[in-house]
Amino acid sequence: MGKAASASQRPEAEGAEAQGPAGGGVPRHVAIIMDGNGRWAKARGLPRAAGHRQGAEAARKVLRAAGEAGVECLTLYAFSSENWRRPEDEINDLMGLLRLYIARELGALHKEGIRIKILGDHGVFSPETARMVDEAVAKTANNQRMTLAIALNYGSRLELVKAAQTLAARAATGEIAPSDIDEAALEASLDTADLPPLDLLIRTSGEHRLSNFLLWQAAYAELLFVDTLWPDFDGDALRAALRAFAGRERRFGGR
């Protein structure tokens, strides 16, 4: 597991330049559990919606920094299947923010060659929200410079269950034999099938758990837990995380 890093432990605090990692290479696929919006707002006497709005701004900064560093895919945990337990007004704020983000950023994302991919089932959202998401995915489908994968109504356990059901149904019809079901077959049935292998998973706000996010994909990913609340996470913070990744030796169980 990754060692928690406070702001004082970040390379910037030691006088290092804010630039991409050297030596160990850039991770192809970075995923982030964007945690701490509520606590950020509470500490400032603001409503939780203000934290979510600032969190959307952080996502914009991090996406730009990831692209500049050469990351092929950035996956953001935007709305989990467990988030439905939150108060209705907060859920409405989050959905409104998602629509605003798409309306405001889609043109720029498309112009910059960024493909939008959705993990999870966004079809349960309101018709307007689902339509906007579908249009964003369709508009950017052929872009190749970078992928922004957004996890919406996503839960990793359910993803694995659905993959198992898909393979079981294919086996039941004789399309495949049960013995054909291996790791590669399961992986090909996941929402992330067309994404690069996950290299680095970051969680902000000081929490040290995966919260049902990319459980299969994180098997050999490097994990990095940082104390910074998500609204305060920016391009410099991402570059620090990339340098931390570059300094790690990845063994994949080999020794």
Task: Locate 48 and state its tokens.
Answer: 């939780």
Is 37 known as a binding-site position? yes
Is 203 assigned to a binding site? yes
The two tokens of residue 64 are 């730009």
CA distance 241 to 228: 12
Residue 193 tokens, joined = 């099938």
User: 146: which strand partners?
Assistant: 114
Which helix (H) or strand (E) is 49 found in, with range?
Answer: helix 48-69
Please indicate if the annotation marks 128 as binding a ligand: no
230 assigned ligand-binding residue = no
pLDDT at 249: 82
- pLDDT tens per residue, range 205-234: 999 999 999 999 999 999 999 999 999 999
Report which secondary-structure segment, H or E, holds 78. strand 73-80
35 is catalytic: yes
| pLDDT score of 91 | 93
Sequence ranges of the domains in the chain: 7-13+25-246
Task: Report pLDDT for 253.
Answer: 66
Q: How far apart are CA 253 and CA 115, in angstroms?
A: 33
52 is in an annotated binding site: yes
| pTM attached to this predicted model | 0.88
**Which CATH code for domain 7-13+25-246?**
3.40.1180.10
Q: List the catalytic residue out of 83, 121, 212, 234.
A: 83
Closest CA to 206 of 41, 72, 13, 5: 5
Q: Is there a binding annotation on residue 82?
A: yes
Residue 21 in this model has a pLDDT that exceeds 90: no
* Block residue for tokens 């804010």: 18
Amino acid type, 159: E
| The predicted structure's pLDDT at residue 25 | 87
Rg (CA), the chain: 19
* Active site annotation includes 83: yes
Q: From CA 101, how far away is CA 124, in angstroms rounded?
A: 19
- Across the chain, mean pLDDT equals 90
36 carries a ligand binding annotation:
yes
